[in-house]
Amino acid sequence: MKEDINWAALPFGYYPTDYNVRCTFRDGKWGEIEVTQSETLSLHIGATCLHYGQEIFEGLKAFRGKDGKVRIFRMDENAKRMRRSAEGLMMEPVPEEIFNKMCVMAVELNERFIPPYESGASLYIRPLEIGLSPRIGVKPATEYMFIVMVTPVGPYFKQGFGVSNYCITRAHDRVAPKGTGQFKCGGNYAAAMRAGEEAHDKGYSAILFLDPLEKKYLDECGPANFFAVKDGKYITPASESILPSITNMSLMTLCEDMGIPVERRHILVEELADCSEAAAIGTAAVASPIGNIDDLDTGKTYVMARDGKPGPVTTALYEKLNAIRYGLEDDIHGWNFIVGEDRVNA
């Protein structure tokens, strides 16, 4: 049965699907994978995820290609990152094999919600892990649940690939200098929500955060990584408070393929004056081009898109990565997992 959905108009929101899959870690081992139609959970009121933030998640996408095949982009990397997040928050790591298997199951079970190629939409895959054991004293849980849910999402750029504006402020940090910035945990999002809403209220897409220690260098761009183009080079912040974006990693590889030099290093705020392009990077948008960056503390405006349009490097990278994700271009790096053809490695 095909769904009668206006795929291209779907927001980045929750649209109910048929199934989600779950697996529980109990008595020192991961149990059977369960398939359910329930959209709710029954939890102990003392669970560590509710009190002490033992919650981590991932985000990846499945795409229906022009050839009709369904591709999941770089799932192995998400599995590895989730393991690192689990270790960072003293949670039980989900074995990569279980992670991959459950992502594929969730996609297959909800096949009718994978948007058609023409719509530009995709199926967003959201794996999450929570601590279940009741704790009042601060201690890691011994029981955990891993869930994979999916939901169809529309194309990120509904009005076409275009720019939006960001701001810099020293009034907020997303994470602490040696905190949890490199882990994909809900707590980081809660900590940055007030800052994000204030930026939205002022008309910005998000805050371009500065490094939380010295406030001299560029750091995370809202809930996304950041790159700029300076003297024809792709520059992206090196920082221990940034979440290592798989999209950013992929764009750096594509730069190498395309002969664009890459620098991963500290980037001073003032360097923005010498940059010709910039973008926020992540699975949702690939690269969301930046128009202006206003420094709210100094009153300076850095113009990243002089003609108000996405620059050539950002556009080329965006198109190239999308072409790989939709199977229009050879997947020379082996990034796609083709559902129904490829097998999950044990």
Ligand X SMILES: *Cc1c(COP(=O)(O)O)cnc(C)c1O
Under the rule (CB under 6 A), what is the footprint of ligand X? 59, 184, 220, 223-225, 243, 245-248, 282-283
Q: Which is nearer to ligand X, 50 or 249 (CB)?
A: 249
Q: Is 24 exposed, middle or buried (0-12, 13-18, 19+ CB in 10 A)?
A: middle
Q: Which is nearer to ligand X, 147 or 286 (CB)?
A: 286
**CB contact at 8 A, 160 and 91:** no
Q: Which is nearer to ligand X, 74 or 135 (CB)?
A: 74
Q: Which is nearer to ligand X, 91 or 143 (CB)?
A: 91
What is the identity of the amino acid at 36? T
**Adjacent-strand bridge partners of 122:** 153
Q: Which of 184, 230, 233, 300 is catalytic?
A: 184
Quote the CA–CA distance of 273 and 285 in Å, as a whole number.
25
- Quick check: is 300 catalytic? no
**CB contact at 8 A, 223 and 234:** no
Phi, psi of 115, deg, nearest 5: -60, 150
CA end-to-end span of the chain: 32
Neighbouring residues of 319: CB distance < 8 A, sequence distance ≥ 6: none
Least separation in angstroms between CB 241 and ligand X: 10
Q: Which is nearer to ligand X, 143 or 317 (CB)?
A: 317
Sheet strands (E) in the chain: 20-26, 29-30, 34-36, 55-57, 60-64, 70-73, 122-131, 144-153, 164-168, 206-210, 218-221, 225-230, 233-237, 262-265, 275-282, 286-295, 301-303, 336-338
Report, as residue numbers or ranges, the catalytic residues. 184
